[in-house]
Amino acid sequence: PLPTDIQEAASKAYADALILPATQVEPSHIGAATFDDLQDLINNTMSAGRTSGGLIEASSAAGNVKVNLGTGFIKITDSPNGLTRSFNWPNTIIVAGALPGNIIDKETNYIYIDYSARVP
């Protein structure tokens, strides 16, 4: 079968039958299991998060922090078993402080990447 809309476009390697999408690889299962392919396994056992890079450090501007390039996994929906995709963020991201709703000094702050309109 060909890739579906929610999968990556077919690559030359896929067309040449050298690489299969994760939805076409079946791990062992019993009977007609609800979750029956490698993509289901990834979606249901992996969480979103950073895998490499992403060093967080102070920026030159007071109250700002830099998040350096990195790699990770992201869920494309707000669901614990939503589609999990790998991605890279290639540029340094500046997170502004000293403004309402941004980085607050001497408090716990959460830095995260949203997935919106097919873009992390």
Element (H, E) at 87: strand 84-89
Could you read off the pLDDT of 10-20 as tens digits, one per residue?
A: 444 555 556 77
- Is pTM, for the whole model, over 0.85? no
Cα–Cα distance measured from residue 76 to residue 105, given in angstroms and rounded to the nearest whole number = 31
* Residue ranges per structural domain of the chain: 1-45, 48-120
Mean pLDDT of the residues in the chain: 78
User: At 101, is the pLDDT very low, low, confident or very high (cuts 50, 70, 90)?
Assistant: low
Element (H, E) at 51: strand 49-53
Could you read off the pLDDT of 38-72 as tens digits, one per residue?
A: 899 989 888 888 999 998 888 776 667 888 899 99
Q: 82 pLDDT exceeds 80?
A: yes
Cα–Cα distance measured from residue 91 to residue 88, given in angstroms and rounded to the nearest whole number = 9
Cα–Cα distance measured from residue 5 to residue 3, given in angstroms and rounded to the nearest whole number = 7
